[in-house]
Amino acid sequence: MSLIEIGTIVGDRYEITRLLGAGGMGVVYEAIVKHEPQRRRVAIKFLNPQLAVSREWRKRFEREVRMGSSLKSDHIARIRACGTEPVPDDPDRQWPWIAFDYLEGESLGQRLERGGSASFEDVAWMIEHLLRGLDVAHRAGLVHRDIKPANLFLEGGAQLRILDFGIAKELGGAMTALTNVDKIYGTRQYISPEQFANSSDVDGRADLYSAGLVAYELLTGALPDERRDPKAITEARTLAHLPPLGRTTGLAWPSEVDAWIQRMANPRRDERFRTANDALAAWLTICAMMKGREPLRVQLGAARGGARPADTVTAVRSSLPRR
């Protein structure tokens, strides 16, 4: 893939300072805003030039700009600008880009991969921020369709922001060429059962399902079926409920926490919370109930290395009363 040279001026105002990362879909750079005394930083995402020749990918990129620009929330990455630049080794082709606020921190996926323990107190604010961001998106008529740890950014250790609305769906919008009913959109380990059947037939409850899985992974250290093959994952998502938290962690969890997880990640979408705001209200009630209790701590990502989930617990049993 062609790379932009350090020092290149993008959009007449952004000076490229360093490469942040590269993948199959494109590259991300850090840049500074010229002519600003504080030299504010932004992150600029360039679509892979090979994908840019595809009408579907160009439309998807344009839609991410349009959708993301309409969302105003402290829990969603903010889009600052967009445009195109000539491809360095082929100036006849254009390279689409999006400029975002520069975020200091790491993705939740990186946090899970790095390991370390997490308390319920930490999980509480992460899930609260996720639900607040989803509530804004859903009220704006957008379903993200790919909520997963890699698309959730932890900024400064105290703020979570949702990234990447590239495959989002507009509620009530007409079906377009970008929505192929025979194609699964999203990441298989985290998408809702209805997305396996028809990725166009979704509403905000699909994102709630994925958020429930993220919460489960944070509270237990791993998804229960993350090492299974794709067919087994599909069957587990569409037919089964998640194992109780206590069975996975070996800890005594209050029934209210388990019930919230099971409702979020219910295979039947009619049995889930109706809206992100409803899920948030119930979650805040649980957080208030857990406040002041001895925190539960689990080893994040430990099961990825092959350990049994029950072996990932690193702290003592909760002091919650037995139920």
Residue 166 has pLDDT above 90, yes or no: no
Q: What distance lies between CA 267 and its chain's CA centroid?
A: 20
> Greater confidence, 241 or 230?
241
Counts for the chain of helices (H) and strands (E), in that order: 10, 13
164 and 226 in a single domain? The answer is yes
pLDDT at 323 over 50: no
Q: Of 59, 79, 101, which one is at a domain's C-terminal end?
A: 101
**Residue 315 predicted with pLDDT over 50:** no
- Evaluate whether residue 291 is within a structural domain: yes
Q: CB 197: neighbour CB atoms within 10 A?
A: 13
**In this structure, are 24 and 166 located in the same domain?**
no
- Whether residue 222 is found in the same domain as residue 97: no
CATH code of the domain containing 29: 3.30.200.20
Q: What local confidence, expressed as pLDDT, does residue 269 receive?
A: 93
Domain co-membership, 70 together with 114: no
Tell me the pLDDT band of 304, cut-offs 50, 70 and 90. Answer: low
Report whether pLDDT(288) > 80. yes
Distance CA 49, CA 1 (A): 8
pLDDT at residue number 138: 95
Confidence band, pLDDT 50/70/90 cuts, at residue 316: very low
* Domain coverage including residue 76: 9-101
Which are the contacts of 322, defined by CB distance < 8 A and separation ≥ 6?
A: 252
Q: Residue 50 pLDDT > 80, yes or no? A: no
**94 part of a folded domain:** yes
Alpha-helical runs (H) found in the chain: 49-52, 55-69, 108-114, 120-139, 193-197, 204-220, 230-239, 245-249, 255-264, 276-290
94 and 111 belong to one structural domain: no
In a domain, 117, yes or no: yes
Q: What is the mean pLDDT of the chain?
A: 81
Name the domain count of the chain: 2
Using the predicted structure, report yes or no on whether residue 214 has a pLDDT greater than 60.
yes
Q: Which two tokens stand for residue 246?
A: 């206590």
Single out the residue in 101, 132, 153 at which a domain terminates: 101
Do residues 90 and 128 share a domain? no
**Three-state secondary-structure class, residue 268:** coil
Query: 45 among the known binding-site residues?
Result: yes
What percent of the chain is predicted at pLDDT more than 70?
81
Pair 64, 185 in one domain:
no
Residue where a domain stops, chosen among 85, 101, 117: 101
The number of C-alpha atoms within 13 Å of 263 and in the hemisphere containing its C-beta is 16
Q: Mark whether 177 and 151 lie in a shared domain.
A: yes
Q: How far apart are CA 235 and CA 196, in angstroms?
A: 10
- Do residue 195 and residue 155 come from a single domain? yes
Do residues 81 and 140 share a domain?
A: no
Beta-bridged to residue 170, according to DSSP, are 142
pLDDT of residue 236: 64
Is pLDDT at 177 greater than 50 in this prediction?
A: no
Tell me if 20 is assigned to some domain: yes
- Please report whether residue 3 resides in a domain: no
Query: 0.95 exceeded by the pTM?
Result: no
Considering the domain boundaries, does residue 78 fall inside one?
yes
Tokens 């507009």 sit on residue: 170
Relative to beta strand 90-101, strand 79-87 is antiparallel
Residue 120 lies in a domain: yes
Least confident of 81-85, 140-144, 152-156, 157-161: 81-85
Whole-number pLDDT of residue 251:
85
Catalytic residues: 146
| Backbone phi, psi, residue 101, to 5° | -55, 140
